[in-house]
């Protein structure tokens, strides 16, 4: 590439005289972090709809007691695939999409550290999705072992299970490459002068998330590899008759699975930590404590995994250890919630759509956090294990937590990505419909779980009928509300009001959409006051405001 | 600022999509093969061929960019960070299998031989390692491989190969190309010798000792741990051969040779994994 030898003052458009494919090939061959970010986000939205259709089929079946719409075998496939599609297809890729778009802009890098590998990280996902969704067509159907794929059930399934195992391998490879890219970009591509503690908090949360991904995705790969060899090559990892142990699978899986929970929520914390200060017109309260809290959560996430297995059987000392370690996580999480509230305290707050979703996030995520604490208490967990209480808990943290943060981030950064304002009316409608229907769907599940309704079962006893009917109505409302989101995004992408240029607020940064190509010279960090600094990288690009702590 | 450190952003590339197609074909082929669909091996081979094409093309481009002087010190640091984190991910992959081994030996087997299990489930099964008889009597008797035969020789071979590789690195640093080539050649030879002995050991295990992948939990952990290690030695040896070929073409300078160092890191990582294997799989 000759372009990098050019004098930087020449203007970047002339540098890239090499061929740039157009049409579909542009997206297939792209090495541009914004293109790849958009690909991630659209992919995750498509998977979100696919997983959503599965969820609605589940809810339709559960509208009334008895079997109406689907066979129990297919119902089990739906619960399994809904979980896997939402976790690996919707939530995780959406956050990687945000990382791709925002991290290079926020730290003043021209692109990700490894732009070609970045492309591969994305283009592995459609391959995994083909295997995942294609497994419905395999003889015997998709895996019906639950998203956790517990042995021995997962050792017994048909060809769909094998497709799922390879899909997990490929998604793992994608995640590991993506995470290495993000770590390297953040550690090595920051603009001169931007120390780690001056980075926007979103970068910090992603740095720590990427570390978690690199540490646990290989362990998941190992777990499903053991499953594969148990299925086809005669090993006895999870077979007690050969000296193995099915509980071993649970340990290996949850050693991955619990950090995975934080992989899906830490970037959400980062997005919310960018939005709350903007709409409170105050710098983030307790920046350093936010960084330490995020790190503490990540470290603790490695020593709490067996709280998913209290009923599987373990010594009382083990139960006590995992119970107390789990409850300890409430401390750094509480630090974060209090910091967000303190940021809003006495701020000049306005409630545009991103702020609505961010404040909604704090309310509803905190409820999910509290039910998590309740689940952590061993004797209570033995009662509510595998009931709808657990379903309610993790949907409060994953839908109202991760998903609402994704919505918040989308509305917050869409104007930067497209150069146009989103439709505020549609955005607010989307928020209120989402949060109301979300609670109609999942709040009754707490009562169902406390009353003993088991999860992953297509039929239920008559006394659960009313709450289930309410939840189903809420679910369809929630599903339809997401079409408002699609409309709002499409309208914004297609055009609309120019993005306002505010001055004197923390959102003063660039004048229009971020140009596709940016110079390959470092940006400059300008200190404007003791609490604010800006990045500039020469015309026409200027970067995001960052939140310097002091 | 007088000196501006420049970043490197590559042009659009068609190699990643070939990699994706390759993995799709390989996964489909493997699934078909395992489920006895006749086209499986063919699809798998097609996928592997696509992967090889992609690796040649992609790495070839990276090598041309590197030798063309496009990679400044910033890119060099990026490579260092990423190789380190990649090796860390590999460490965690092995940690999963080592964890399985420790769990079985420390928790699962004593539990299976506990009084409850003896009485109600697995009659008279007593925990010992290596297990002679599996709890469900589904495993034919076998003899485990002792540590002080081929495994001890293999340990010496790998440790020596680590030393020869470092000696080759000194040659590169001092611009002594002869020492570099000889050191690399010796390292590769020792690695291949290790692999040959490993294959001999596996053949011995299958034909004489009746130790198989299906020999209960001992066979599972033994073959999966040593097998994945062997796979990594194969990958490492392949990378060393590429490095040697590049050295013969005159690549690498005393101050610009991260590809060499990355492969050396990888080789030492494989070496360290073997030491753990030797101690906990063969010896203890």
Structure tokens at A326: 């789990």
Residues of chain B positioned with their CB less than 8 A from the CB of A115? 9-10
pLDDT in tens, A359-383: 999 999 999 999 999 999 999 999 9
Pairing state of beta strands A533-536 and A524-527?
Answer: antiparallel
Residues of chain A positioned with their CB less than 8 A from the CB of B34? 162, 231-232
Residues of chain A positioned with their CB less than 8 A from the CB of B14? 28-29
Other beta carbons less than 10 A from residue B111's beta carbon: 16
Active site annotation includes A388: no
Identify from B96, B106, B107 which residue to disrupt to test chain A contact, counting A C-beta atoms within 10 A and taking the largest count: B96
Q: Do A131 and B19 touch (CB under 8 A)?
A: no
d(CA A56, CA A213): 30
Other beta carbons less than 10 A from residue A233's beta carbon: 14
Active site annotation includes A524: no
Structure tokens at A203: 């970068």
Q: Do B219 and A237 touch (CB under 8 A)?
A: no
Mean pLDDT of A117-121: 97
Residue A128 lies in a domain: yes
Residues of chain A positioned with their CB less than 8 A from the CB of B70? 1, 4
Active site annotation includes A3: no
**Considering Cα of B119, then B124, then B127, then B132, what sign does the dihedral take?**
negative
Provide the terminal-to-terminal Cα distance of chain A, rounded to the nearest Å. 40
The full set of domain ranges for chain B reads 12-70, 79-283
Minimum CA–CA partner of A224 in chain B: B96
Q: How confident is the model at residue A215 (pLDDT cuts 50, 70, 90)?
A: very high
d(CA A36, CA A33): 5
Taking CA A47 as the corner, what is the angle to CA A114 and CA A419, rounded to the nearest 5 degrees?
Answer: 60
Identify from A125, A243, A309 which residue to disrupt to test chain B contact, counting B C-beta atoms within 10 A and taking the largest count: A243
Minimum CA–CA partner of A244 in chain B: B217
Residue A320 lies in a domain: no
pLDDT in tens, A394-443: 999 999 999 999 999 999 999 989 988 999 999 999 999 999 999 999 99
Q: How far is B153 from chain A (nearest CA, A)?
A: 28
**Structural domain tally of chain A?**
1
**Of B250 and A538, which is predicted with more confidence?**
B250
Closest partner residue to A159 (CB to CB) among B35, B100, B216 is: B35
d(CA A375, CA A384): 7
Question: In this predicted structure, which of A31-40, A76-85, A500-509 has the lowest mean pLDDT?
Answer: A500-509
Instruction: Give the pLDDT score at B70.
Output: 86
Structure tokens at B267: 């080789």
d(CA A419, CA A512): 5
Residue A39 has pLDDT above 50, yes or no: yes
Residue A516 lies in a domain: no
pLDDT in tens, B178-188: 999 999 999 99
Provide the terminal-to-terminal Cα distance of chain B, rounded to the nearest Å. 60
Identify from B31, B71, B97, B206 which residue to disrupt to test chain A contact, counting A C-beta atoms within 10 A and taking the largest count: B31
Residue A380 lies in a domain: no
Mean pLDDT of A434-460: 96
Closest partner residue to B85 (CB to CB) among A111, A214, A251 is: A214
- Assess contact for A246 and A181: CB atoms under 8 A: no
Closest partner residue to B213 (CB to CB) among A181, A189, A234 is: A234
Q: Do B16 and A159 touch (CB under 8 A)?
A: no
Give residue A118's domain range.
21-238
Q: Which of A116, A453, A41, A16 is nearest to A271 (CA)?
A: A41
Active site annotation includes A333: yes
Residue A532 has pLDDT above 80, yes or no: no
Q: How confident is the model at residue A542 (pLDDT cuts 50, 70, 90)?
A: very low
Catalytic residue among A205, A333, A510, A547: A333
- Residue owning tokens 């990378």: B239
pLDDT in tens, B56-111: 999 999 999 999 888 888 899 999 999 999 999 999 999 999 999 999 999 988 88
Active site annotation includes A35: no
Q: Do B27 and A127 touch (CB under 8 A)?
A: yes
**b/e code B158-190 from CB counts within 10 Å (16+ = b):** beebbebbebbbebbeeeeeebbbebbbbbbeb
Mean pLDDT of B14-20: 96
Structure tokens at B54: 């992609």
A194 touches chain B (CB under 8 A): no
d(CA A485, CA A41): 13
Instruction: Give the pLDDT score at A544.
Output: 41
Size of interface A-B (CB pairs under 8 A): 241
Minimum CA–CA partner of A111 in chain B: B9
Catalytic residue among A455, A456, A491, A531: A455
Instruction: Give the pLDDT score at A18.
Output: 54
Active site annotation includes A82: yes
Active site annotation includes A38: no
Residues of chain A positioned with their CB less than 8 A from the CB of B27? 127, 131, 163, 166-167, 169-170
d(CA B78, CA B86): 12
Write the burial class of residue A170 (CB in 10 Å: 0-12 exposed, 13-18 middle, 19+ buried): buried
- Assess contact for A98 and A408: CB atoms under 8 A: no
Other beta carbons less than 10 A from residue B98's beta carbon: 19
Q: How far is CA B174 from CA B76, B120, B170, B184, in A?
A: 20, 69, 6, 15
Map B92-118 to HEC letters. Answer: HHHHHHHHHHHHHHHHHHHHHCCHHHH
**Of A547 and A448, which is predicted with more confidence?**
A448
Residue A527 has pLDDT above 70, yes or no: no
Q: Which of A194, A332, A350 is nearest to A282 (CA)?
A: A350
Residues of chain B positioned with their CB less than 8 A from the CB of A245? 103-104, 107-108, 111-112
Q: Give the H or E element holding residue A546.
A: strand A542-546
Mean pLDDT of A178-183: 97
Residue A457 lies in a domain: no
Instruction: Give the pLDDT score at A533.
Output: 57
Instruction: Give the pLDDT score at A520.
Output: 64
Mean pLDDT of A199-203: 94
- Assess contact for A444 and A467: CB atoms under 8 A: yes
Residue A198 lies in a domain: yes
Residue B261 has pLDDT above 60, yes or no: yes
Residue A227 lies in a domain: yes
Question: In this predicted structure, which of A52-66, A235-249, A468-482 has the lowest mean pLDDT?
Answer: A235-249
Q: Do B92 and A520 touch (CB under 8 A)?
A: no
Q: Do B220 and A244 touch (CB under 8 A)?
A: yes
Catalytic residue among A61, A260, A352, A423: A260
Catalytic residue among A33, A34, A59, A82: A82
Residue A85 has pLDDT above 70, yes or no: yes
Assembly ipTM: 0.95
Q: What is the CATH number of the domain that holds A152?
A: 1.20.210.10
d(CA B264, CA B243): 10
d(CA B251, CA A239): 51
Catalytic residue among A147, A211, A340, A388: A147
Minimum CA–CA partner of B73 in chain A: A188
Q: Do B34 and A162 touch (CB under 8 A)?
A: yes
Identify from A163, A217, A236, A256 which residue to disrupt to test chain B contact, counting B C-beta atoms within 10 A and taking the largest count: A236
Active site annotation includes A395: no
Q: Give the H or E element holding residue A544.
A: strand A542-546
Q: Do A232 and B34 touch (CB under 8 A)?
A: yes
Report helix, strand or coil for A105.
helix
Percent of chain B predicted with pLDDT > 90: 78
Active site annotation includes A174: yes
A528 touches chain B (CB under 8 A): no
Give the phi and the psi of residue A420 in degrees, each rounded to 5. -125, 150
- Assess contact for A361 and A408: CB atoms under 8 A: yes
Residue A298 has pLDDT above 50, yes or no: yes
Give the phi and the psi of residue B237 in degrees, each rounded to 5. -65, -40
Instruction: Give the pLDDT score at A2.
Output: 39
Closest partner residue to B90 (CB to CB) among A117, A218, A234 is: A218
Catalytic residue among A12, A33, A282, A336: A336
Domain B79-283 indexed as CATH 1.10.287.3510: no
Q: How far is A526 from chain B (nearest CA, A)?
A: 14
Mean pLDDT over all residues of chain B?
Answer: 92
Adjacency order of strands within the sheet including A533-536: A524-527, A533-536, A542-546
**Of A154 and A527, which is predicted with more confidence?**
A154
Closest partner residue to B16 (CB to CB) among A20, A113, A119 is: A119
A240 touches chain B (CB under 8 A): yes
Catalytic residue among A198, A307, A395, A518: A307
């Amino acid at each position: 590439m000759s372009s990098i030898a050019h004098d930087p003052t020449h203007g970047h458009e002339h540098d890239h005289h090499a061929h740039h494919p157009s049409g579909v090939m542009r997206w297939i061959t792209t090495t541009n972090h914004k293109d790849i970010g958009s690909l991630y986000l659209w992919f995750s939205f498509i998977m979100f709809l696919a997983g959503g259709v599965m969820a609605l089929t589940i809810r339709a079946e559960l509208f009334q007691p008895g079997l109406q719409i689907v066979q129990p075998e297919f119902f089990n496939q739906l619960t399994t695939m809904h979980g896997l599609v939402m976790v690996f297809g919707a939530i995780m890729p959406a956050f990687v999409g945000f990382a791709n778009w925002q991290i290079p802009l926020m730290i003043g890098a021209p692109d990700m550290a490894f732009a070609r590998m970045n492309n591969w990280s994305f283009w592995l996902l459609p391959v995994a999705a083909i295997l995942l969704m294609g497994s419905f067509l395999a003889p015997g159907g998709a895996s019906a072992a639950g998203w956790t794929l517990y042995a021995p059930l997962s050792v017994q399934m048909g060809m769909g299970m094998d497709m799922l195992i390879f899909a997990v391998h490929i998604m793992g490879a994608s995640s590991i490459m993506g995470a290495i890219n993000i770590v390297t970009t953040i550690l090595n591509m920051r603009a001169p002068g931007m120390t780690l503690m001056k980075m926007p908090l979103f970068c910090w949360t992603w740095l720590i998330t990427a570390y978690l991904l690199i540490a646990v995705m290989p362990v998941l790969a190992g777990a499903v590899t053991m499953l594969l060899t148990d299925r086809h090559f005669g090993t006895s990892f999870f077979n007690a008759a050969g000296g193995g142990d099915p509980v071993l699978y649970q340990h290996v899986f949850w050693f991955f699975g619990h950090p995975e929970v934080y992989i899906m929520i830490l970037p959400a914390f980062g997005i919310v930590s960018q939005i709350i200060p903007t709409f409170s017109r105050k710098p983030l309260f307790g920046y350093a404590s936010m960084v330490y809290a995020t790190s503490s959560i990540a470290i603790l996430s490695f020593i709490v995994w067996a709280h998913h297995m209290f009923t599987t059987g373990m010594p009382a000392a083990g139960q006590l250890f995992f119970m107390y370690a789990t409850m300890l996580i409430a401390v750094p999480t509480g630090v974060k919630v209090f910091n967000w509230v303190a940021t809003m305290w006495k701020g000049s707050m306005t409630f545009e759509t991103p702020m609505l979703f961010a404040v909604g996030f704090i309310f509803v995520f905190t409820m999910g956090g509290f039910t998590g604490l309740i689940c952590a208490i061993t004797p209570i967990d033995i009662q509510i294990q595998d009931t709808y209480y657990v379903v309610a808990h993790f949907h409060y943290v994953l839908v109202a937590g991760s998903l609402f943060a994704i919505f918040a981030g989308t509305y917050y950064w869409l104007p930067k990505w497209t150069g146009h304002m989103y439709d505020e009316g549609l955005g607010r409608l989307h928020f209120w419909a989402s949060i109301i229907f979300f609670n109609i769907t999942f709040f009754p599940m707490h009562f169902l779980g406390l009353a003993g309704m088991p999860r992953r079962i297509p039929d239920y006893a008559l006394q659960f009928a009313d709450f289930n009917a309410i939840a189903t109505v809420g679910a369809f409302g929630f599903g339809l509300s997401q079409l408002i989101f699609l409309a709002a995004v499409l309208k914004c992408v297609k055009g609309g009001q120019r993005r306002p240029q505010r001055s004197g607020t923390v959102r003063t940064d660039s004048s229009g959409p971020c140009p596709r190509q940016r110079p390959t010279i470092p940006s400059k960090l300008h200190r404007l006051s003791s609490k604010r600094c800006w990045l500039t990288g020469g015309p026409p690009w200027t970067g995001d405001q960052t939140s310097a702590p002091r | 600022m007088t000196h501006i450190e420049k970043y490197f952003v590559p042009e659009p590339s068609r190699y990643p999509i070939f990699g994706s197609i390759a993995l799709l074909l390989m996964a489909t082929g493997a699934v078909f093969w395992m489920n006895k669909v006749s086209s499986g091996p063919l699809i798998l081979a097609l996928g592997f061929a696509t992967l090889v094409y992609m690796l040649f093309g992609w790495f070839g481009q990276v090598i041309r960019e590197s030798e063309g002087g496009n990679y400044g010190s910033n890119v060099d640091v990026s490579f260092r960070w990423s190789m380190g984190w990649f090796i860390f991910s590999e460490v965690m992959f092995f940690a999963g299998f080592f964890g399985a081994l420790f769990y079985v030996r420390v928790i699962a087997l004593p539990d299976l031989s506990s009084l409850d299990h003896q009485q109600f489930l697995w009659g008279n099964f007593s925990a010992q390692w290596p297990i002679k008889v599996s709890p469900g009597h589904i495993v034919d008797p076998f003899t485990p491989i002792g540590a002080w035969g081929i495994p001890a020789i293999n340990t010496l071979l790998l440790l020596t190969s680590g030393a020869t590789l470092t000696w080759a690195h000194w040659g590169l640093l001092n611009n002594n190309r002869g020492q570099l080539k000889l050191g690399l050649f010796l390292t590769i030879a020792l690695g291949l010798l290790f692999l040959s002995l490993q294959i001999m050991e596996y053949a011995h295990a299958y034909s004489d000792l009746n130790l198989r992948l299906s020999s209960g939990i001992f066979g599972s952990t033994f073959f999966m741990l040593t097998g994945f290690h062997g796979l990594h030695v194969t990958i490492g040896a392949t990378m060393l051969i590429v490095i040697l070929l590049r050295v013969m073409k005159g690549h690498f300078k005393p101050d610009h040779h991260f590809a060499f160092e990355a492969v050396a890191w990888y080789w030492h990582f494989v070496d360290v994994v073997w030491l753990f294997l030797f101690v906990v799989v063969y010896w203890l």
